[in-house]
Amino acid sequence: MSVEIEQELKAARELQMSLLPKRMPSIPGYQFTARFLPAREVSGDLYDLIRIDDHRLGLLVGDVTGKGIPAAILMAAAKDAFNLIAKRGSSPEIVMEEVNRNLIQRGSSRFVAACYGVLDLERKSISISSAGLIPFIWSADLKECLELDRDCFSYPLGITSRTKFKRITIPLGKGDLILFHTDGVVEAQNEEGEPFGYDRLQQLLGELAGLSADEIADSIIEEVSRWSKGTAHDDITLLVVKAVDPNEWLRRSAQLESDQFASEPEPIPILL
């Protein structure tokens, strides 16, 4: 690889990383965390947390077809479109429709699989629209992942203007968990070529449900890496949201603040 190409890839990588959130939101009653592992120097994955207003937060994970600089360019365009349109406060399926229209007008031959949700802090619920990426929602009361109606899922963005997007709204209680992820998780293969798969991820999520959002994300990455022997053929992105007891959240936040001033902490990367 020439020095010029290496420099271009490095610049593209730095630009891409600058577009991702620098930190997770701090909201009583909720834990947020994300993991971002590109398979190459430049990724086609994206995630974002978008402040809509004082009580609504947009959650986004997306996966552009292909890899490298062309995929990263479309990723940046898709992220900008989502950010601009989501802040108007429209429901998730309307946001999907407008972003889809925006991407089609760009005339790209690539498309974007995405999952976009709006967390409503007042109503304690989340509304989700899916375009090719299937989220997992763990119910603490039922002690299982909710079976989402496949009719709620639509084609990826950028394929056709005729795509109809739908929305599901789910109430959230203490212990409930939401996992947005890109296909790099379920499509990771072992030495026999067997994919990690949705069933295995769903079972793993049930086993991890009692942990914190950070611990859940780290454990998923660890299990997928073990499955694939550390060989990543596709980008992996996770966005985990967990509803917790607000009092527990306040105690934990106070402890973290106390620990911070008690000693100089080691730097912890927000993006992995």
Per-residue pLDDT tens over the stretch 138-173: 999 999 998 777 767 899 999 999 999 999 999 999
**Within-domain flag for 38:** yes
**Within-domain flag for 9:** no
Q: Which domain holds residue 114?
A: 33-254
Residue 263 has pLDDT above 50, yes or no: no
Number of domains in the chain: 1
Alpha-carbon dihedral angle through residues 37, 169, 88, 179, given to the nearest 10 degrees: -10
**Within-domain flag for 24:** no
**Within-domain flag for 271:** no
**Within-domain flag for 17:** no
pLDDT digits (tens, 9 = 90+) for 78-92: 999 999 999 999 999
At 217, phi and psi to the nearest 5? -60, -45
Q: Which residue has the tokens 């001033």?
A: 261
Measuring CA to CA, which residue among 201, 38, 220, 71 is closest to residue 135? 201
**Within-domain flag for 92:** yes
Measuring CA to CA, which residue among 49, 24, 37 is closest to residue 221? 37
Query: In whole angstroms, what separates CA 158 from the centre of its chain?
Result: 19
**Within-domain flag for 152:** yes
Instruction: Indicate which CATH number applies to the domain containing 134.
Output: 3.60.40.10
